[in-house]
Amino acid sequence: MQTVALTGSGCGTRLRLSGLRPCLPSTARRTVRAAAQVGPLSRRLTCSASVDFRAGHLGQAFAPMDSMSLQQAPKKRVSRPHAQAAEGDVEGVVAAKEASAGYGGSLFLSVGIACLGAILFGYHLGVVNGALEYIAKDLGIVGNAALQGWVVSITLAGATVGSFTGGTLADKFGRTRTFQLDSVPLIVGALLSATATGIQAMLAGRFLVGLGIGISSAVVPLYIAEIAPTNIRGSLGSVNQLSICIGILLALIAGLPLAGNPIWWRKMFTIAVAPAALLLLGMGFSPESPRWLHQQGRKAEAEVAIRKLWGKGKVEQAMAELNDNSSSSSEENAGWGELFSKRYRKIVAVGAALFLFQQFAGINAVVYYSTAVFRSAGIKSDVAASALVGAANVLGTTVASSLMDKQGRKKLLSLSFLGMAASMIVLSLSLSWPALAAYSGTLAVAGTVSYVLAFSLGAGPVPGLVLPEIFSSRIRAKAVALSMGVHWITNFAIGLYFLTFVNKFGISSVYLGFSAVCLLAVLYVSNNLVETKGRSLEEIERELSASA
C-alpha cells in the first residue's frame, strides 16, 4: 500500500483534501483503497498500488502522483473556482501549499552530537588493537594470552549489558537524558583505563567503556530515527554507521605515535574523554525526541521540539501525525516480556535476525584476518592493512548514506549481501584453488576490500537504521536494545570461536560458510523486511500493526 505524500494543506507526509467527496475521478478510484478521515474536512488517501492519477484531478497540474515527484510540488496555494472543482469530483478549494523544505536549526547539530556516541563506539573497539602490545608490557601481562584477551573482550561483555540497559533508560528518562547518563561510564572508564597501573583497573575501565558504547549502540540510532524528517531519515540514519567507521579510523591514527613513545597508549585513552564530555554538554541543549515527549503526554514540549528540529512550518502536520497514531503510542511502554508476545514477536524476530545475519556473514572475522591476508599479498604493515580496510568501510558507508533515501533500505541490504557472498567466494577460491595460486595474494586483497565495501553499502548501516523504523513506538527502545544485544553476543561468540573453526575446517571452508549465510540473508530480507523509504514512522507502525 502507498499513501499519497508530500503536499496538500501544509502536510509534509500525507495528502490532505478539504471537502473531499466520496466519489473520486475514475482514474483515481481504481487505486484508492481508503480515504481515512483526518479531521472534519480532511481525508487521507491510502492506495493499494502506485498512485497513477494526476494532480490536475485534485486542483493542481504537475507530474503523475508518486512520492518522488511530489517533492517537486509547487510551494504556493493553488485554487480552482467552485464550479470547476465539481467537474473533477472535488468540491471547493484544494489546499496545495507544501510545507517548508527547511529544517530547524537544531536538527543537524543534534544528530552530530548524538553521533559522538557512535564515534566513541568505533574508537573504543579499535583503540586497544594497536596498543595491546604496549599495554601488556606496562601492566606486566606479556605472555599471558588469557589476560590480554580479557582486555579486548571484556569491552564486548560490557557492551552487551549496556545495550539492554540503554533501552530501559531511554524509555524511562528520555533519549537526551540517557545520552548524558551514558557519558558517565564513558568518561570514568576512559580515565580509569588511561591511569591503570594494574590489570584489575584496566579491566574495570574497559568494562565501563563497553557499558557506555553498548548504551550508545542502542540509543544513537533510536534518537536519530525519531528526530529525522521522513525524506532524509535514511541519510541521517546512515551517519551513525559512518561515525562508527570514523571512530575506528581515529583510533588507528591515534596509535601512530606508539612506535616512538611506548606509553602513548595512556594518551590514546585520555583522548576519548573529550568527545564523551561534549556528548554530556551537547545533549543538555539538544531537543528531546518529539515522539517520546508525545508518548509521555507532554504535547506542548513535543511541539517545541518539533519547531526546533523541523521548523515552524512542520509543527501542525507532525502533531497531526502523532495524534493520529496516539491510540498505540499512548499505551505504556512495553515490558521486556511483551517483546516475545504474539503481538510483537514476529517483528522483534526480524530485528534480531538482521543482526544475526550481519555478524554470521563474517564481517568481524574478515577484518580480524585481513592482516594475515594482506601479508600473504606482500603488504607487511599492519597499519597499512588496517587503513585500507578502514578506508573501504568509510567510502562505502558514505556512498550508502547518499543512496538510502533514493534506492531504499531493502534493495541496498539485498545487494549488499549478494556482493558479500560473491566476495567470500573469491576469497575462498584465492586461498584454496591451485590454479589461482599465482594470483592468490592479489585476489585475496581484492576479495577482502570488495567484501568490506559491499558490507558498508547495506549490511553495515541498514540494520541499525531500519530497526527503529519497523518497531512500534511502545516497544521501540527495548526492541532496538534487544537487537543490539544479539549483535554484541554474536560478536563476542565469533571472536571467541573463529580461530577454532579455522583450525578445524580451514579458512577457505569457513569463508564458503560465510558466503552461504549471505545468500540465506538475501532470501530472508526479501520475504520478511518491509521497505521503509519515504514513509513516516507512524505510517509504518500502522501498516505493520494491521498486518500483525
Q: Which carries the bigger pLDDT value, residue 472 or residue 280?
A: 280
10 Å CB burial of residue 190 (0-12, 13-18, 19+) is: buried
| Cβ-proximal residues to 363 (8 Å cutoff; 6+ apart), any chain | 452, 455, 459, 460
| Cβ-proximal residues to 198 (8 Å cutoff; 6+ apart), any chain | 139
Q: Which ranges in 104-227 belong to alpha helices (H)?
A: 107-139, 145-173, 175-194, 199-227
**Residues 246-268: tens digit of each pLDDT:** 998 898 888 889 888 989 999 99
Q: What would the mean pLDDT of 7-12 be, rounded to a whole number? A: 35
CATH of the domain spanning 104-286: 1.20.1250.20
Q: What would the mean pLDDT of 127-153 be, rounded to a whole number? A: 88
Under 8 Å between Cβ of 251 and 127 = yes
Q: What would the mean pLDDT of 533-537 be, rounded to a whole number? A: 83
- Of 380, 358, 322, 305, residue with least CA distance to 484: 358
> What pLDDT is attached to residue 42?
41
Q: Which carries the bigger pLDDT value, residue 395 or residue 98?
A: 395
Confidence of residue 45 (pLDDT cuts 50, 70, 90): low
Confidence of residue 495 (pLDDT cuts 50, 70, 90): confident
What are residue 530's phi and psi, to 5 degrees?
-90, 150
Total-model pTM: 0.73
Q: What would the mean pLDDT of 403-425 be, rounded to a whole number? A: 93
The mean of the pLDDT values for the chain is 79
> What pLDDT is attached to residue 56?
37
Assigned CATH topology for domain 337-547: Growth Hormone; Chain: A; (1.20.1250)
Q: Which carries the bigger pLDDT value, residue 98 or residue 251?
A: 251
Confidence of residue 18 (pLDDT cuts 50, 70, 90): very low
Q: Which residue carries 473520486 as its cell?
A: 24
Under 8 Å between Cβ of 322 and 329 = yes
User: Which residues is 36 bridged to in the sheet?
Assistant: 44
Q: Which residue carries 588493537 as its cell?
A: 129
Domain ranges of the chain: 104-286, 337-547
Given a cut of 90, whether residue 386 has pLDDT beyond it is no
**Residues 276-287: tens digit of each pLDDT:** 999 999 999 999
Given a cut of 90, whether residue 382 has pLDDT beyond it is no
Confidence of residue 326 (pLDDT cuts 50, 70, 90): low
Q: What dihedral do alpha carbons 295, 299, 301, 303 form, nearest 10°?
A: 110
